[in-house]
Amino acid sequence: GKKLIQRFTSSNPSPAYIEAVVNAFKTGTFNGKRFSGKYGDLGATVAAILLHEDARAQDSSSNGLLREPMLKLIHVMRSMEYAEATNDNVVFRRLEDIGQFPYHSPTVFNYYKADFMPDTDSFRRQLNESDKSENPEPEPEPEPEPLTAPEFEIFTAPYAITLLNGMNQLVENGLSSCWGGLGQWIGNCDPRGRLEHKEAPTVGETVEE
């Protein structure tokens, strides 16, 4: 149950959230709605994952998850209505340098470990050192619980910069391979396509979108 939740909504689901998903899988029901009523019902399981109140709550630092780089790219292209200039198929180059590319994971399990925890100790130590030089040392606070964040294993500085450069070229030149672009080389650096999403008439309407 926990790993299914991690793929959809939260890297650190609460015990109650996990229990609700497990019960939906076992009983085939969720929140009073009967699906098949049988053990192993994936419809009820997915409903529990997406409709549980924890899936929509954003009231703590442990809610949510980091979107994978390939999903970020596809989301931008779909939401901004990317279209190739010649109506050809959209073709990427191999994108291991953004952290992942379909069918090229380093192991059969995934691009990252499901239980990966970012090392934040050194960052906290640096913050504490800077605070000591400016302010008197306060009472020590209890260490926060370590958080699981699987997708952060492939969120490194080189991967993030490559993705940002590729996004910039997507806006400027479409899905080109030139100047750090993410597209397949086609023999020249001519603009390949464009983002066709139209800006809303007013700022308020833009924010609503």
Rounded CA-CA distance 205/209 in Å is: 6
Q: Residue 133's pLDDT is what? A: 52
Lowest average pLDDT, out of 55-59, 142-146, 167-171, goes to: 142-146
Rounded CA-CA distance 154/96 in Å is: 10
Residue % of the chain over a pLDDT of 70: 87
* Token representation of residue 193: 């396509």
Lowest average pLDDT, out of 21-25, 30-34, 123-127, 172-176, goes to: 123-127
Rounded to 5 degrees, what are φ and ψ at 81?
Answer: 60, 55
Residue with tokens 């400016």: 134
The overall pTM is greater than 0.85: no
Over range 126-133, report the average pLDDT: 56
Sorting pLDDT into bands at 50, 70 and 90, what band is 196? Answer: confident
Cβ within 8 Å of residue 36, ≥6 positions away: 28, 43, 44
Residue 92 has pLDDT above 80, yes or no: yes
Sorting pLDDT into bands at 50, 70 and 90, what band is 26? Answer: very high
